[in-house]
């Protein structure tokens, strides 16, 4: 973890968060089975950014990035690639992000030098905390949870689809940030899906906490938007065509007016008037609730707004009963999805 984010954590009041189960394997265990090697499919690169994407690096402009101290990045731009300059430090975006779809193209240096973690090492850190490992894992033995496309220290990729050093590789990452309540308690762990060189290697996995060398860190509350980071591990890894799409943090809540109709209370003897068959539909009373069966195994709860109108408790639909002068239903019309479906009451 870099100076930027250590400083960030040091300035916070940390509130204990829920712990999540760790793997039965110790971190970085060389005895942990390494993923099988598979030849990746041919890809047409670079992958174009969608129309709604934020292009973080287009091959020329590094103005959206800065170093750990907030100064302009010292990484070099050569032949359309941003190159990690050893000793220049990791870089992060000036803008913070939460839930994202991220695309990164990277290439390990040639000639290949070093071995294990010393060969083509870098990393993509979502929110600066959750790393997808970059490594030259082409014919390079290392611990399984530290090879290319590993969620570092937690999950090895399901397969090793690394290309030879010097060839462009792709990460396509879907990331859902962790959720904390106002008191700092963890509500939902971070989740990640990773496609490496066109092959799915992590499928919506739940992260145990921030990723870290030698340590299993617990979740600590943090803002819902933090910068993306690319790691300087003193290896000249190249990057190009970095873009992301911001995803909705949570489904918007419906306007109060959509559910703002007053609810009335009907006595059991009144509710009993509705019980019966209406075409193929059935209405019954269950205690103080009226239930209606349309299709399938379940009866659906009806919420009364008047003696004629009832809404479905969990579905965007409602029914209006056709009442006679005594308030006894003679038929019903079901409204949902822009349709109106009438049915007449059947004699038992």
Does residue 251 lie within any of the structural domains?
no
Same domain for 194 and 319, yes or no, is no
The alpha-helical segments, DSSP class H, found in the chain are 3-10, 268-271
Asked, for residue 24, whether it belongs to a domain, the answer is: yes
Looking at per-residue pLDDT, the higher value among 61 and 250 belongs to 61
Q: Are residues 192 and 290 in the same domain?
A: no
What average pLDDT does range 129-143 have in this prediction?
Answer: 95
The closest of 297, 301, 258 to 283, measured between CA atoms, is 301
Same domain assignment for residues 202 and 295: no
Residue 250 has pLDDT above 70, yes or no: yes
* Residue 236 shares a structural domain with residue 315: no
Domain boundary among 222, 246, 270: 246
Could you tell me if residue 324 is inside a domain?
Answer: yes
Average pLDDT of the segment spanning 107-135: 93
Check pLDDT > 90 for residue 208: yes
Please compute the mean of the pLDDT values over residues 148-156 and round it to a whole number. 96
Show the tokens assigned to 16: 């204990």
Q: Which one has a higher pLDDT value, 22 or 52?
A: 52
Last residue of a domain, one of 218, 246, 274: 246
**232 and 171 in a common domain:** yes
Domain, as residue range, for 309: 256-346
For residue range 74-91, what is the model confidence (pLDDT) as tens digits? 999 999 999 998 788 999
Q: Do residue 224 and residue 298 come from a single domain?
A: no
6 three-state secondary structure: helix
Q: Which pair of structure tokens corresponds to residue 156?
A: 């090895």
Residue 243 to residue 254: CA distance in whole angstroms: 31
Q: Residue 273: helix, strand or coil by DSSP? A: helix
Neighbours of 215 (CB within 10 A): 12
Number of domains the chain is built from: 2
User: For the residues 139-151, what does the mean pLDDT come to?
Assistant: 94
DSSP string, 87-123: TS--EEEEEEESSEEEEEEEE--SS--S-GGGSS-EE
Residues 28 and 75 in one domain: yes
**Per-position DSSP letters for 26-90, written without gaps between them:** PTT-TTSPPPPB-PPPP--SSPPPPTT-EEEE-SS--TTEEETTSSBP--EEETTEEE--TTS--
C-alpha to C-alpha distance for 76 and 141, rounded to whole angstroms: 29
Q: Find the CATH number of the domain harbouring 218.
A: 2.60.120.560
Domain boundary residue, one of 185, 214, 246: 246
109 and 224 both lie in a single domain: yes
Whether 186 is in a domain gets the answer: yes
Using one digit for the tens of pLDDT, what is the confidence trace for 311-331? 998 888 999 999 999 999 999
Given a contact cutoff of 8 angstroms between Cβ atoms, the answer to whether 144 and 36 are in contact is no
pLDDT of residue 252: 64
Residue 234 and residue 291 in one domain: no
pLDDT at 10: 42
Q: Is the dihedral of CA 210, 213, 108, 92 positive or negative?
A: positive
Q: State the pLDDT confidence band at 213, using cuts at 50, 70 and 90.
A: confident
Same domain, 119 and 7: yes
- Cα 147 to Cα 151: distance, rounded to the nearest angstrom: 9
pLDDT of residue 347: 83
Q: Is 76 exposed, middle or buried (0-12, 13-18, 19+ CB in 10 A)?
A: middle
Contact 287, 294 (CB under 8 A): no
**Claim to verify: residue 320 and residue 338 sit in the same structural domain:** yes
């Amino acid at each position: 973890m870099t100076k930027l984010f250590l400083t960030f954590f040091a300035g916070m009041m940390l509130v204990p968060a829920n712990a999540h189960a760790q793997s039965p394997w110790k971190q970085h265990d060389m005895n942990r089975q390494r993923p099988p090697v598979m030849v990746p499919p041919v890809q047409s690169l670079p992958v174009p950014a969608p129309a709604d994407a934020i292009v973080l690096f287009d091959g020329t402009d590094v103005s959206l990035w800065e170093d750990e101290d907030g100064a302009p990045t010292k990484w070099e731009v050569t032949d359309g690639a941003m190159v990690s300059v050893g000793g220049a430090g990791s870089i992060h975006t000036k803008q913070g992000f939460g839930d994202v779809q991220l695309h990164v193209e990277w290439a390990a240096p040639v000639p290949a030098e070093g071995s294990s973690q010393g060969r083509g090492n870098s990393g993509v850190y979502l929110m600066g905390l959750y790393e997808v490992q970059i490594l030259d894992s082409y014919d390079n033995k290392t611990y399984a949870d530290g090879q290319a496309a590993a969620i570092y220290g937690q999950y090895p990729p399901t397969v090793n689809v690394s290309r030879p050093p010097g060839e462009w590789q792709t990460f396509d990452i879907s990331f859902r940030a962790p959720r904390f309540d106002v008191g700092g308690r963890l509500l939902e762990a971070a989740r990640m899906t990773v496609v490496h060189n066109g092959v799915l290697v992590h499928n919506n996995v739940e992260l145990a906490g921030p990723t870290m060398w030698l340590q299993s860190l617990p979740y600590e509350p943090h803002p819902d938007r933090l910068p993306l980071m690319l790691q300087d591990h003193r290896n000249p890894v190249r990057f190009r065509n970095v873009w992301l799409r911001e995803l909705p943090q949570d489904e918007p809540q419906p306007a109060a007016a959509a559910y703002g109709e007053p609810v009335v209370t009907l006595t059991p003897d009144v509710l009993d008037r509705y019980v019966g068959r209406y075409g193929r539909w059935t209405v019954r009373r269950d205690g103080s609730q009226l239930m209606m069966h349309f299709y399938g195994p379940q009866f659906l709860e009806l919420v009364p707004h008047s003696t004629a109108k009832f809404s479905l408790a969990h579905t965007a639909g409602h029914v209006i009963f056709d009442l006679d002068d005594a308030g006894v239903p003679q038929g019903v019309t079901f409204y949902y999805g822009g349709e109106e479906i009438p049915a007449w009451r059947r004699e038992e």
